[in-house]
């Protein structure tokens, strides 16, 4: 089977995989009557390069139907990582997306995404995907509560009970990195993802340090596009020799020919992150031979609807599906766990909300056990925000 035939088969399988949820769209349901947008930042517990301020922004979304049933979602903007700011997410949700969804059938998820795309058009890819993710998650939660099913059950899938996590090593010195490693291992983490770039000498030594401390770990490098092509081509074989397993976004996502060179070099599997928002460009990038897999973030893909499609395209195409996030807290973290559990993620997930955030808006916050988190049970996303805390808007 050639690449085009493989992709056609993968896309057909992905569409078939969405069928159980799509079947609900024609069923009668109480219409959406209210959408509330609640900014709610989190305190930051440790140094992380994407949080220059001592807080992690977030925006909760509550969608209520005419019978009083409500679903919760969460948008998690990171202005230093993507163009969406807390202010732009709030205005987009309140002024554009909410009006487009009032009166709609909450089971019509495809129609909701179409309505959101009309309200906020795409540029190269989906427009304002982090804002739209909050709506998508709330709709999934709402559908689960209306049908008394968990999100994986809505998809016709049986979930894992637990998802193993990876500890993030984001350090400015080797001494700091050693402290971070000891902290992670003391909490039961056995696998590690490293923030690298743009300092080759430091990154090589960092990789050596982590591998010495955890020789059996799954070692995942993430440059967030921090290297130029020439440097990345030189470093990839060295990182591979040191025991790295994958390299996420070694150069910026718009350097397509460079990414193809790195994949063709074959020293390490090249994993896309920032460059893949929707399944449309994922298919194009696979056709162009640019990648070996994707670090999936529902917060980046406008939610679970298209994230599922992307995972099924990757799996059918024999490519890697890794689980990642945007330092997701609470509802966004629950959605990632539901997705990764439902699709039986094979690698440790780089979900570092518990590592870097010091607070929670949930009535029952997540608790780490042996470097893993349980996939929430119950209807919808399986978590319940504390509305009294949310009303205050701060912790």
pTM above 0.85, yes or no: yes
Domain housing 209: 162-392
- Looking at the fold, whether 176 and 81 belong to one and the same domain comes out as no
- Reported as a single tens digit per residue, the pLDDT across 252-299 is 999 999 999 999 999 999 999 999 999 999 999 999 999 999 999 999
Closest residue by Cα to residue 351 from 373, 321, 367? 373
- Looking at the fold, whether 169 and 137 belong to one and the same domain comes out as no
Sign of CA dihedral 95, 93, 392, 58: negative
- Reported as a single tens digit per residue, the pLDDT across 15-45 is 556 666 767 767 778 999 999 999 999 999 9
- Looking at the fold, whether 48 and 104 belong to one and the same domain comes out as yes
- Looking at the fold, whether 58 and 183 belong to one and the same domain comes out as no
Q: Is the peptide bond before 278 cis (omega within 30 degrees of 0)?
A: no
| Structure tokens, 361 | 């808006």
Taking 60 as the threshold, does the pLDDT of residue 14 lie above it?
no
- Looking at the fold, whether 115 and 181 belong to one and the same domain comes out as no
Residue 14 inside a domain? The answer is no
| Structure tokens, 11 | 């896309």
The residue that leads in pLDDT, 351 or 6, is 351
CATH number at residue 107: 3.30.390.10
- Looking at the fold, whether 58 and 174 belong to one and the same domain comes out as no
Taking 60 as the threshold, does the pLDDT of residue 219 lie above it?
yes
- Reported as a single tens digit per residue, the pLDDT across 119-167 is 999 989 999 999 999 999 999 999 999 999 999 999 999 999 999 999 9
Q: How many CB atoms lie within 10 A of CB 316?
A: 18
Domain count of the fold of the chain: 2
- Looking at the fold, whether 121 and 254 belong to one and the same domain comes out as no
Place of tokens 């440059």: 223
Residue 4 inside a domain? The answer is no
- Looking at the fold, whether 173 and 76 belong to one and the same domain comes out as no
Residue that terminates a domain, selected from 114, 148, 182: 148
Residue that terminates a domain, selected from 124, 148, 172: 148
Helix (H) or strand (E) holding 37: strand 32-39
Please give the Cα distance from 240 to 361 (Å, whole number).
Answer: 41
Q: What are phi and psi of 366, to 5 degrees?
A: -65, 145
- Looking at the fold, whether 142 and 179 belong to one and the same domain comes out as no
Residue that terminates a domain, selected from 148, 181, 213: 148
Dihedral (C-alpha) 14, 16, 21, 23: value to the nearest 10 degrees?
150
- Reported as a single tens digit per residue, the pLDDT across 166-211 is 999 999 999 999 999 999 999 999 999 999 999 999 999 999 999 9
Closest residue by Cα to residue 219 from 200, 202, 203? 203
Segment 306-315 mean pLDDT: 96
- Alpha helix (H) ranges present in 187-303? 200-213, 229-241, 256-265, 279-287
Lowest mean pLDDT among 49-58, 310-319, 374-383: 49-58
Residue 32 inside a domain? The answer is yes
């Amino acid at each position: 089977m050639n690449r085009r035939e493989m992709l056609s088969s993968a896309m057909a399988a992905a569409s078939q995989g969405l069928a159980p949820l799509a079947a609900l769209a024609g069923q009668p349901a109480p219409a959406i009557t209210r959408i509330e947008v609640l900014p709610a930042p989190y305190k930051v517990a440790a140094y992380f390069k994407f949080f220059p301020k001592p807080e992690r922004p977030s925006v909760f979304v509550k969608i209520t139907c005419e019978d009083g049933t409500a679903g919760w979602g969460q948008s998690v903007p990171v202005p230093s990582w993507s163009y969406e700011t807390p202010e732009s997410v709030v205005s987009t949700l309140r002024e554009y997306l909410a009006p487009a969804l009032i009166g709609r059938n909450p089971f019509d998820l495809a129609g909701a995404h179409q309505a959101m795309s009309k309200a906020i058009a795409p540029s190269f890819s989906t427009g304002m995907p982090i804002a739209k993710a909050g709506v998508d998650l709330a709709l999934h939660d709402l559908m689960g509560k209306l049908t008394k099913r968990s999100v994986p059950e809505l998809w016709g899938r049986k979930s894992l009970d637990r998802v193993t996590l990876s500890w993030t090593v984001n350090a400015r010195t080797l001494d700091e990195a050693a402290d971070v490693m000891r902290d992670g291992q003391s909490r039961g983490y056995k696998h590690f993802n490293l923030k690298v770039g743009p300092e080759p000498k430091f990154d090589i030594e960092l990789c050596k340090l982590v591998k010495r401390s955890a020789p059996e770990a799954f070692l995942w490098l993430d440059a967030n596009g921090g290297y130029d092509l020439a440097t990345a081509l030189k470093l990839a074989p060295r990182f591979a020799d040191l025991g790295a397993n994958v390299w996420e976004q070694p150069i910026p996502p718009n350097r397509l020919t460079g990414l193809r060179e790195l994949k063709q070099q074959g020293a390490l599997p090249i994993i896309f992150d920032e460059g893949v928002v929707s399944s449309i460009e994922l298919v194009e990038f696979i056709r162009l031979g640019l990648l070996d897999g994707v670090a999936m973030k529902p917060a980046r893909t406008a939610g679970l609807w298209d994230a599922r499609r992307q995972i099924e395209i990757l799996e059918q195409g024999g490519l890697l599906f890794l689980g990642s996030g945007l330092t997701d807290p609470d509802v966004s973290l629950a959605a990632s766990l539901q997705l990764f559990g439902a699709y039986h993620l094979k690698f440790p997930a780089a979900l570092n909300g518990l590592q870097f955030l010091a607070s929670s808006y949930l009535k029952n916050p997540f608790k780490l056990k042996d470097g893993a988190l349980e996939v929430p049970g119950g209807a919808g996303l399986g978590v319940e925000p504390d509305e009294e805390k949310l009303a205050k808007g701060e912790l």
